[in-house]
Amino acid sequence: MKQCSFCSQNAKEIDFKNVELLKRYTSSQAKIIDPRHTGVCAKHQRRLANAIKRARIMGLLPFVKQ
């Protein structure tokens, strides 16, 4: 099992304005990637999903790719 990248960096919060970071955790179809493939722990996966959803609502990330 991979080490959570957010735990290893001691990240307190995942900022929804950091689009480059969030794009790494979305697929080519703009879906949120499963934590089994990314190696993110459950706590940070929940925070990551909320950040991606906020970024979508603010218009920083697309809901779907065309």
**pTM beyond cutoff 0.85:** yes
Angle at 41 between CA 23 and CA 19, to 5 degrees: 15
- Contact indicator for 22, 16 with CB cutoff of 8 Å: yes
Tens-place pLDDT, residues 11-64: 889 999 999 999 999 999 999 999 999 999 999 999 999 999 999 999 999 999
Q: Does domain 5-58 have CATH number 3.20.20.70?
A: no
What gap in Å lies between CA 40 and CA 66, rounded to an integer?
27
Tens-place pLDDT, residues 14-29: 999 999 999 999 999 9
Confidence of residue 65 (pLDDT cuts 50, 70, 90): confident
